[in-house]
Chains A and B, each alone.
Chain A
Amino acid sequence: MGSSVAWAKRNSVFLWVAAVAIAFFIAVPPVQFVNALTLGAIYALIALGYTMVYGIVELINFAHGDVFMLGTFVSLSILIDVIGVTGPITNPIQLILMLVLILAVTMALMGAVGFLIEKLAYRPLRNAPKLAPLITAIGVSFILQNVVQLWKGPYKTTFPQFFPMDAALMLGNVRIGLINILVIVVALILMVALQLFITRSKTGRAMRATALDPTAAALMGVNIDATISRTFVIGAAIAGAGSVMFGLYLGITDFSIGFLAGLKAFTAAVVGGIGNTLGAALGAFTIGFTEVGATVAGFSRWKDAIVFILLVAFLTFRPNGILGSDSSDRA
């Protein structure tokens, strides 16, 4: 009895993934399964920014969800005003070029926004009492929301869907939209790239070292300021990719999406294990499945509340998330 519990604990990740996936396969039409994966992929792209920043400076970047929202508007502006996209692009080569272009530009711009936010609003407060950067983060979040509201108005804005939404693959008699495949593939590519970056590159090592012990890292010659800055930049850039995917997939955006999307992406990061990039991905897919599952079960009005309950439950019973250890602190 004891040893199987221990085995279950050691392999909890795979059990978790398997359990959720199986539950889904059984309970839900395949098309919803694909939707859940797609939603999860988008959440993952946002969650990565939260988890990376928290891992390195132990700060919840409240403004991150609004950076994602800003990304949707920035990319749609570039598409409409600069490039002049109107409808779906059918030529595959042109399509791919456009995707690469808009992803690269948005990611670069959002990375720059991340850099500025860290430099202007967070870095001066790095040694301030913990309340200060939290309040500043809220301030930045509000600033972003209202700047966008002033720029593009408070109404829902359509995102130019230059990706053909009706293109699909048929797996047996299941219709899988190419857009879904695109979103999932882009997310996977970025996650893998990030993981490789963190494990193999010099900056990645610096990030991991700083997350574990900033003093020791500094003593080893790591430039802490630059490392933290780069973490913010990368997190924001990946969120920018999420913005483009969101825009293409849902076709619509408004200034207020950042708040809820951010909250859920943060929940994903916590569920998977904060500070852990694989955890962020895992948590994000869990949240995606939870939301779609709730909708399918008829509780779509309550899906936000359900995700939030998940957050509270994890923070209460398993604050280190699925991939985290079972540590306890009694004080």
Chain B
Amino acid sequence: MREYLLRHRSLDIVIKLIGVAIVLPLLAATPIFGAFQPFNGWLTGFANAAIFVMLAIGLNIVVGKAGLLDLGFAAFFAIGAYTYAFGASAYSGNDIPFWLMLPIGAIVTAIFGVAIGAPTLRLRGDYLAIVTLGFGEIIPNVLLNSDKYTLGTNGISGLNRPELPIIGVFKSNEPWPWFILAVVLIGVIMIAADRISFSRIGRAWEAIREDELAAASNGINTVTFKLLAFAIGASTAGIAGAFLASKLSFVSPDQFKFSVSVTVLSMLVLGGIGNLWGAAIGAFLLYFVQSILLKQLNEGFKGVPVLGEIDFLQLQYLLFGLALVIMMLRRPGGLFPERRAARHRVGTAKE
């Protein structure tokens, strides 16, 4: 069985995701979970967490596979979301259906991925990081300042929602369609990411990550492959952006600050850089730490002398910072380090 699943990885992913899709709502229906928030709150929370899962998987390709430290990933997220706003909203006058906007958003964001990746091609790690950091700052800045087109800080609201034949238009108070859609999108992204990783492309990325000169000296066009990593990572953020935009029916530059980039990076670091499921689990866990645990700590410590004064929600970025430092010092591989053993062994290639 295990052998079979190792050889049919896509099936393995589908099975695991279906399992997750069944278990999570069941858990949310239990009294323990009910104590924190109502069932619908949990379902919506799962869908929101899914956005970060998508972002983490995308960033995992850029940082984890190709070894390019992108500190401005939120920029791609913003582009994906605003592309949706320009494609499917009353404000823009366009009415492209959500299902078509998904690939369009992915492609547009991928193009920006190439555009942003291009200046970084000859740069070493540190410089690449800071240039991507800069882009991560500048793009939301541009979106903010171009208020003639983007309505600046007010953001664009009234974005269209997805629509399906029997179910109709998705609504914000009905979390089930969003939940299922989220799981499906994650499935598609995970399968795609996994298949690319276990191919000549994935090997080329790893070679570049390990030793760029040796990679080039073995025939790898490092330029094209680095740009490809940016493009694919960005396209994932594009999909996540479209999902976010349609779910909230609203976009504004504030949603894409540097803290978002760092949050996604923290999720990746926590979960395990280079590991697909690690990234997903890290994102999921950290999201709920952020949205549930910290609130609970606030509630729990009310009235307690020193601890009661602290606003744990405000603290969250401090905790992220500490987590990043501690993880790097103690366990740089993350909770689920990239498992070298599960790599391409003799006989892995299918007939």
User: Are A and B co-members of a single complex?
Assistant: yes
Number of interface residues of A (CB under 8 A): 46
CB of B142 closer than 8 Å to a CB of A:
yes
On chain A, the residues within 8 Å of B63 by CB distance are: 131
Tell me the smallest distance from the CB of B187 to a CB of chain A, in Å.
29
Residues of A within 8 A of B119 (CB): 312, 315-316
Within the complex, the shortest CB–CB distance from A77 to chain B, in Å, comes to 19
Complex-state Cα separation, A305 to B321, whole angstroms? 26
- Whether a CB of chain A sits under 8 angstroms from the CB of B212 is yes
Whether a CB of chain B sits under 8 angstroms from the CB of A157 is: no
Enumerate chain A residues within 8 angstroms of B129, measured Cβ to Cβ.
60, 134
Contacting residues of chain A (132-156) with chain B, CB-CB under 8 angstroms: 132-136, 138-147, 149-150
The verdict on A68 contacting chain B, using a C-beta distance below 8 Å, is no
B6 on the A face (CB < 8 A): no
Secondary structure dominating the interface of A:
helix
Q: Which residues of B186-223 have CB atoms within 8 Å of chain A's CB atoms?
A: 212-213, 216-217
A142 to B63, CA, bound (A): 20
The interface bits of chain B over 135-162 (1 if a CB of A lies within 8 angstroms of the residue's CB, else 0) are 1011001100100000000000000000
Q: Contact: A60 with B328, CB < 8 Å?
A: no
User: Interface stretch among B21-29, B311-319, B341-349?
Assistant: B311-319
A128: Cβ under 8 A from any B Cβ: yes
Q: Which of A146, A147, A301 has the most CB of B within 10 A?
A: A146
State how many angstroms separate the Cβ of B328 from the closest Cβ of chain A.
4
- Within 8 Å of chain A (Cβ to Cβ): is B251? no
Q: In angstroms, how far is the closest chain B Cβ from the Cβ of A238?
A: 20
C-alpha spacing A244/B122, complex, angstroms:
37
Q: Which of B69, B141, B213, B329 contacts A134 (CB 8 A)?
A: B69
Tell me if B80 counts as interface (CB < 8 A to partner A): no
Cross-interface CB contact of A143 among B130, B213, B321, B332, cutoff 8 Å: B321
Residues of chain A contacted by B130 (CB below 8 angstroms): 60, 62, 263, 266, 311
Q: How far is the CB of A153 from chain B (nearest CB, A)?
A: 10
Q: How far is the CA of A143 from the CA of B269 in the complex (A)?
A: 16
Report the Cα distance A139→B321, complex, angstroms: 4
Instruction: Chain B residues near A266: list those with CB within 8 A.
Output: 130
Q: Are B134 and A311 in contact (CB under 8 A)?
A: yes
With contacts A60-B129, A138-B265, A150-B318 taken as known, whether A312 is within 8 angstroms of B328 at the C-beta atoms is: no
Which among B126, B310, B314 is the interface contact of A58 at CB below 8 angstroms? B126
Closest chain B residue to A117 by CB distance? Answer: B325
Q: Which residues of A contact B320 (CB under 8 A)?
A: 139, 142
- Give 17 A-B contacts (CB < 8 Å), ordered by A residue: A58-B126, A60-B126, A125-B329, A131-B69, A131-B125, A133-B328, A136-B324, A138-B321, A138-B324, A139-B320, A143-B318, A145-B321, A259-B258, A263-B137, A312-B134, A315-B123, A316-B119
